[in-house]
């Protein structure tokens, strides 16, 4: 079935409350899947919806594919498409669907879930939803959500490098980027995310955009940030009011947690009131004496009228080293 047939067959209607817009251009979906090394890799897909991108990922035969979907109806549709053979899971791929909030999900780190996964041999379901599939329910003690696992095989790898692919509502772009590139202990090697074009332009500092707290935070944690492709609004059902872009984030191999927390704390303070002077923001938010700040600015040859957006990441690191 093509995209319109799938939408019609399952009576799918985008929910505004969840910020849903379905990407239906197969060429763009293929481009997104091609932007990540998938074959025999561990992949986490956020917001799979009815599985348009999921199919492209599975066609490249990942070692494992984990889907995290908040919409209960979409989880049911994914299960139905698997049962009906509309989504084909490669024999060698470990496949999982988790119904829940990705911002409360910790990939491949919960010993409780890992233990239940390892025990699947003993608890194989005889009422499986399809040949070769079993169902397992886990209540996550760290959050108010229920994880529903549909698993094709019973052997799972231990914590290992993984990549994230996400076609997500615009309003959770920043929280997801901070969650996976700063907050999680087990961070992905790479993330490919579809987002509002304006946000992508700000992150890449295109056009007239200066630095922002978000762009600096991502530059701190990433080796490279690149635009994969542009996605005009006409490629969605329903069409949003604005165009989108897909960005690729490749994480730095080394991540100093203490330095990162310090960097985020101080840069966040600097952007408290973006239109105000950086010196005033730091003094008022972090309670640093203006005398110390005046001396630091002079040493670094910064104008006292400078705003946070005018400093590149190198100058920010120098300033932080000077005032701490």
What is the residue whose two structure tokens read 């408290």? 272
Mean pLDDT of 140-152: 39
Tell whether 34 and 101 lie within a shared domain: yes
Look at residues 235, 251, 267 and tell me which one is the last residue of a structural domain: 251
Q: pLDDT tens for residues 205-238?
A: 887 789 999 999 999 999 999 999 999 999 999 9
Q: How many CB atoms lie within 10 A of CB 298?
A: 11
- Do 236 and 313 fall within a single domain? no
Asked if residue 264 and residue 120 are part of one domain, the reply reads no
List the structure tokens of 38: 């998938």
- Residue bearing the bigger pLDDT, 96 or 283: 283
Give me the residue label for tokens 């817009």.
21
The reply to whether 99 and 223 lie within a common domain is yes
Q: What are phi and psi of 113, to 5 degrees?
A: -70, -40
CATH number of the CATH domain containing 303: 1.10.8.100
Of 22-36, 123-137, 160-174, least confident by mean pLDDT is 123-137
Measure the CA–CA gap between 231 and 238, rounded to whole angstroms: 14
Q: What is the pLDDT of residues 27-41, one digit of tens each?
A: 999 999 999 999 999
Q: Are residues 273 and 183 in the same domain?
A: no
Asked if pLDDT for residue 124 goes beyond 60, the answer is no
Tokens representing 251? Answer: 């994480």
CA 149 from centre of chain: 20
Q: Say if residue 157's pLDDT is above 50.
A: no
- Looking at the predicted structure, is the pLDDT value of residue 111 above 80? no
Residue 317 structural domain: 257-323
Q: State whether 234 and 97 are in the same domain.
A: yes
Exposure b/e, 144-183, CB count within 10 A at least 16 = b:
ebebbbbbbbbeeeeeeebbbbbbbbbebbbebbbbbbbe
Total of domains in the chain = 2
- The whole-angstrom distance between residue 313's C-alpha and the CA centroid of its chain comes to 23
- Of 251, 271, 299, the residue at which a domain comes to its end is 251
Last residue of a domain, one of 251, 274, 307: 251
Give tens-digit pLDDT for 258-286: 999 999 999 999 999 999 999 999 999 99
Q: Per-residue pLDDT for 156 more than 80?
A: no
230 and 309 part of one domain: no
- Same domain? For 187 and 319 the reply is no
Q: Are residues 137 and 199 in the same domain?
A: yes
Residues 245 and 268 reside in one and the same domain: no
Residues 6+ apart with CB under 8 A from 208: none
Instruction: Give the chain's length.
Output: 324
101 and 243 together in one domain: yes
pLDDT of residue 159: 57
- Shared domain for 212 and 289, answered yes or no, is no
């Amino acid at each position: 079935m093509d995209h319109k047939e799938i939408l019609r067959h399952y009576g799918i209607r985008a929910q505004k409350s969840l910020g849903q817009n379905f990407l239906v251009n197969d060429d763009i979906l293929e481009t997104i899947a091609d932007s990540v090394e998938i074959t025999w890799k561990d992949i986490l897909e956020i917001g799979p919806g009815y599985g348009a991108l999921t199919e492209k990922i599975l066609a490249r035969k990942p070692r494992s594919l984990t889907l995290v979907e908040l919409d209960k109806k979409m989880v049911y549709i994914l299960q139905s498409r698997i049962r009906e053979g509309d989504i084909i899971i490669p024999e060698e791929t470990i496949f999982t669907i988790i119904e829940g909030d990705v911002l409360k999900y910790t990939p491949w780190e919960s010993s409780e879930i890992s233990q239940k996964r390892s025990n699947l041999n003993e608890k194989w379901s005889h009422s499986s939803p399809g040949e070769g599939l079993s169902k397992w329910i886990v209540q996550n003690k760290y959050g108010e959500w229920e994880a529903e696992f549909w698993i094709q095989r019973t052997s799972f790898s231990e914590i290992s490098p993984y990549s994230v692919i996400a076609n997500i509502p615009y309003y959770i772009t920043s929280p997801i980027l901070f969650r996976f590139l700063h907050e999680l202990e087990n961070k992905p090697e790479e993330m490919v995310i579809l987002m509002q074009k304006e946000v992508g332009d700000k992150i890449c500092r295109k056009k007239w955009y200066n630095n922002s707290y978000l762009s600096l935070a991502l530059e701190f944690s990433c080796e490279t940030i690149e635009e994969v492709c542009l996605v005009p609004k006409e490629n969605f059902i329903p069409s949003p009011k604005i165009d989108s872009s897909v960005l690729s984030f490749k994480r730095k191999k080394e991540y100093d947690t203490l330095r990162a927390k310090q960097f985020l704390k101080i840069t966040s303070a600097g952007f408290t009131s973006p239109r105000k002077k950086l010196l005033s923001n730091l003094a008022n938010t972090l309670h640093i004496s203006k005398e110390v700040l005046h001396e630091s600015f002079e040493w670094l040859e910064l104008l006292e009228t400078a705003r946070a957006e005018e400093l590149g990441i190198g100058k920010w690191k120098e300033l932080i080293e000077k005032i701490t």
